[in-house]
Structure 1
Amino acid sequence: MKVFLNGEWTQLSDSMVFVSDVLQHFEIHDKVVVVEVNGEILTKLEHQSTRLADKDRIEIVHFVGGG
Structure 2
Amino acid sequence: MAPGRRADHLSRRRRSARFARICDERLLELPGQPDFPRRLPWLAADAGCEERAEAANYYFNLWSYPTP
Tell me the TM-score normalised to structure 1 length.
0.22
Which structure has more relative contact order (CA 8 Å, sep 6+)? It is 1
More strand by share: 1
| TM-score computed with the length of structure 2 as normaliser | 0.22
